[in-house]
């Protein structure tokens, strides 16, 4: 049995939101389209899509926003344009940035820009580390929250100082805001307040929002227009974007409204984890409604425990597992969404007891 099949058979899931079947999702989308008189777009020329782009732009405090089919294309394009405008192809990126870890060298192979790594792999990069770079930068990218380090974010004052420095030095400051809405709840600030001072922001339409896919890039009207042209050049001018936008738009407001509840549930989970020392959260206190849990077993053993508990108890603990720096250690990611939000406290504690007991044996 594959992991996907085993996961589908489980009655209880800890991470994320409940996944709708294609039939359930398409039925909900069809009903929403009927209610809102949605017509198919043609290359993005439709009221629904253009209104949704403007809605995201207003939430983030920018002049404009544009849909793109993938975050990978969105970010590489944004940083390419930023570098061309600033006259330097150097971009400061954290070692765990999505571009460096998951995009197969696209920025380099397509000659978008040159990456300079900045910061410690286990912490967000700092103003001091940015100031220590002697080269003229075209751009610096900051992920809020940083997924690969457990959703960590810089402090609010540190973030403000980074914004001010980039503005003074003429460095284009770009936000990888794939999970920005999650960071907003944790900061206790609006998404627009966090985005203020950035020159461009990318947000995902499927991660915390739970849409089908796609992304938005927000910035000045001129910057967004350049990005749209580069999407066309790279094959991103999808004929009909309606399904992706509908899947996100129909639940967008509800998801954003739930983010504070997800974060409160994450805070509760941290308190519960105090009773389970074999399940060690990182960061020490939540920066978003996501975290890493470090385990005293190697990656293969962690996956074996996950599969056994899924088979025997119908509980899905986590998705993937990563090797840790020390031998016979691993870490897993936990995104706190609808699943954990709606599980009774006692049931969560029972699951943590089951998981911790398997780790101890």
Cα 184 from chain centroid (whole Å): 12
For 22-251, CATH number? 3.40.640.10
Q: 258-289 in b/e burial notation, b at 16+ Cβ within 10 A?
A: bbeebbebbeebeeebeebebbebebeebbbb
Q: Above 90 in pLDDT, residue 163? A: yes
Structure-derived torsion over alpha carbons of residues 149, 151, 152, 153, reported in degrees to the nearest 10: 140
- Nearest residue to 202 (alpha-carbon basis) of 174, 230, 229: 174
Mean pLDDT calculated for residue range 179-185: 95
* Chain segment 314-337, per-residue pLDDT in tens: 999 999 999 999 999 999 999 999
Tens digit of each residue's pLDDT (9 = 90 or more) over 271-316? 999 999 999 999 999 999 999 999 999 999 999 999 999 999 999 9
pLDDT in tens, 38-92: 999 888 888 999 999 999 999 999 999 999 999 999 999 999 999 999 999 999 9
The CATH number of 3-19+254-360 is 3.90.1150.10
Please list the residue range(s) of the chain that carry CATH number 3.90.1150.10. Answer: 3-19+254-360
Contact 80, 237 (CB under 8 A): no
Give start-end residues of each CATH 3.40.640.10 domain in the chain.
Answer: 22-251
Query: d(Cα 219, Cα 62) in Å, to the nearest integer?
Result: 5
> Distance between CA 199 and CA 31 in Å, rounded?
37
Q: In the prediction, which pLDDT does 44 show?
A: 86
Question: Could you tell me if 161 and 127 are in contact, meaning their C-beta atoms sit under 8 angstroms apart?
Answer: yes
* 19 pLDDT above the threshold of 90: no
How far is C-alpha 354 from the chain's CA centre?
A: 29
> Which residue has 């397509």 as its token pair?
110
Tell which residue, 168, 198, 166, has the closest CA to residue 183.
198
**What digits encode the pLDDT tens for the residues 110-147?**
899 999 999 999 999 999 999 999 999 999 999 999 99
Measured torsion, CA atoms of residues 50, 202, 151, 354, in degrees rounded to the nearest 10 = 50
Task: Give the integer Cα–Cα distance in Å for 65 and 68.
Answer: 10
Q: Is the pLDDT of residue 339 over 90?
A: yes
Q: Residues of the chain with pLDDT > 90: what percent?
A: 94
From the list 133, 137, 204, 134, the residue with the least C-alpha distance to 172 is: 137
Give yes or no for residue 33 having a pLDDT over 90.
Answer: yes
- Note the pLDDT tens digit of each residue in 188-202: 999 999 999 999 999
Q: What is the DSSP letter of 347?
A: H
C-alpha 235/C-alpha 119 separation (Å) is 34
Mean pLDDT of 191-219: 97
Rounded CA gap, 286 and 264, in Å? 10
Provide the 8-state DSSP code for 205.
S
Q: Which residue matches tokens 């990611």?
A: 333
Q: From CA 180, how far away is CA 201, in angstroms rounded?
A: 9
Given a contact cutoff of 8 angstroms between Cβ atoms, the answer to whether 102 and 130 are in contact is: no
pLDDT given at position 35: 96
Closest CA to 53 of 233, 195, 235, 252: 252
Across all residues in the chain, what is the average pLDDT?
Answer: 96
pLDDT at site 45: 87
Structure tokens given for 39: 């017509």
In this prediction, residue 97 carries a pLDDT of 97
80-104: b (≥16 Cβ within 10 Å) or e: bbbbebbebbbbbbbbbbbbbeebe
| CA atoms of 63 and 60, how far apart (whole Å) | 9
């Amino acid at each position: 049995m594959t992991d996907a099949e085993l996961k589908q058979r489980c009655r209880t899931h800890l991470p994320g939101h409940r996944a709708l079947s294609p039939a359930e999702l398409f039925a909900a989308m069809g009903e929403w389209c009927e209610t809102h008189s949605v017509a198919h777009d043609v290359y993005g020329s439709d009221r629904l899509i253009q209104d949704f782009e403007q809605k995201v732009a207003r939430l983030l405090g920018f002049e404009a926003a544009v849909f793109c089919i993938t975050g990978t294309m969105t970010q590489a394009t944004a940083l390419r344009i930023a570098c061309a405008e600033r006259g330097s192809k150097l971009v400061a990126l954290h070692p765990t940035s999505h571009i460096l870890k998951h995009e197969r060298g696209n920025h380099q192979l397509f000659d978008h820009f040159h990456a300079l790594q900045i910061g410690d792999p286990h912490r967000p990069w700092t103003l001091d580390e940015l100031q220590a770079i002697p080269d003229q930068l075209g751009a610096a990218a900051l992920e809020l929250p940083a997924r690969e380090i457990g959703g960590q974010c810089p402090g609010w004052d540190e973030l403000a100082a980074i914004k001010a420095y980039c503005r003074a030095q003429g460095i284009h400051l770009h936000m990888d805001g794939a999970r920005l809405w999650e960071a907003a709840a944790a900061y206790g600030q609006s998404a627009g307040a966090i985005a203020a001072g950035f020159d461009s922001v990318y947000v995902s339409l499927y991660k915390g929002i739970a849409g089908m896919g796609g992304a938005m890039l927000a910035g000045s009207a001129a910057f967004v227009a350049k990005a749209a042209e580069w999407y066309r050049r790279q094959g991103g001018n999808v004929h009909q974007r309606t399904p992706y936008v509908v899947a996100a738009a129909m639940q967008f407001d509800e998801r954003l409204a739930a983010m504070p509840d997800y974060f409160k549930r994450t805070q509760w989970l941290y308190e519960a984890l105090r009773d389970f020392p074999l399940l060690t959260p990182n960061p020490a206190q939540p920066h978003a409604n996501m975290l890493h849990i470090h385990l005293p077993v190697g990656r293969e053993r962690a996956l074996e425990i996950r599969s056994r508990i899924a088979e025997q108890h119908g509980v899905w603990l986590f998705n993937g597992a990563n090797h840790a720096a020390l031998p016979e250690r691993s870490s897993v990611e936990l995104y706190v969404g609808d699943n954990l939000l709606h599980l009774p406290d006692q049931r969560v504690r029972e699951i943590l007891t089951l998981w911790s007991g398997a780790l101890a044996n």
